């Protein structure tokens, strides 16, 4: 069942990259809003 762990690890890495991408976008959006208020 080594392939199961491999697929699980691959899916986890993909999920982490997607979450990091969303978090980065949200952080940039907040920075833009902050600059707009100023």
pLDDT in tens, 5-29: 999 999 999 999 999 999 888 888 7
Give the per-residue pLDDT at 4: 94
> What is the C-alpha separation between 24 and 33, in angstroms, rounded?
14
Give the per-residue pLDDT at 19: 95
> What is the C-alpha separation between 35 and 31, in angstroms, rounded?
6
- Residue 3 — pLDDT band, cuts 50, 70, 90? very high
Give the per-residue pLDDT at 11: 98
Under DSSP, is residue 8 helix (H, G, I), strand (E, B) or coil? Answer: helix
pTM, rounded to two decimals:
0.60
> What is the C-alpha separation between 26 and 32, in angstroms, rounded?
10
């Amino acid at each position: 069942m080594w392939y199961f762990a491999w697929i699980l690890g691959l899916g986890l890495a993909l999920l982490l990259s997607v979450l990091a991408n969303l978090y980065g976008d949200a952080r940039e959006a907040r920075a833009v809003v902050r600059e707009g208020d100023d």
